[in-house]
Amino acid sequence: MEIDIIERSWWSYVLRGVLALIFGILFIAYPGATLKTFVILLGIFLIIDGVVNLIRSLIFIFRKEPWGWTLVWGIVGLLLGLILVNHTDFTLGFVAILMGIWVVIMGVAELAMAFDMPPKSGRGVIAVLGVISLGFGIAILAWTAETVYALMVLFGIYLLVAAVMDFIIGIYVGRMQHKEKKEMEEAA
């Protein structure tokens, strides 16, 4: 039985879920943090998420699997993260616009990736995450004048939802791998 793409990169979803969980809790727990701290934390998250996705895309390239959307996702996250870390004097409005654009692009990439995946590969969960990302990104772009507290709490909630979805993907893939191993052992 052929192993699907998502099964081969289960670790990247778990890692992303852990990072999203950590940063989501930080954004919700400390909404009174300064804009500079928020920008730096967001930038660090985007850099780490971008690097993880760039590594995933390289793995996909070497395995001759679809890699374009993962590469786009990684490059956009990395570039936005570097901009935020190196220019902490941005206004909240500009940071919100950058974050909104990143989340919209991520949502589009997740939806496109889900449509490119074969059936029974976890594409439904990725599509749901894509719709959530797209909706959240549009909401950020629509209300950029809101306070830093609301933005941090909302982004923290989004990260917690993304973490749960990534953990669901990891559990689903783990069960599929276990089932496939069991089937292979029984067939042998």
- Determine the pLDDT at residue 27: 78
Q: Which domain holds residue 98?
A: 5-178
- Determine the pLDDT at residue 182: 85
Which residues make Cβ contacts (< 8 Å) with residue 29, sequence separation at least 6? 156
- Determine the pLDDT at residue 89: 64
**First-residue to last-residue Cα distance in the chain:** 13
In a domain, 151, yes or no: yes
In a domain, 187, yes or no: no
In a domain, 92, yes or no: yes
In a domain, 188, yes or no: no
Amino acid at 65: E
In a domain, 158, yes or no: yes
Number of domains in the chain: 1
In a domain, 165, yes or no: yes
In a domain, 185, yes or no: no
Q: Which residues of the chain have pLDDT under 50?
A: 1-3
pTM (2 decimals)? 0.50
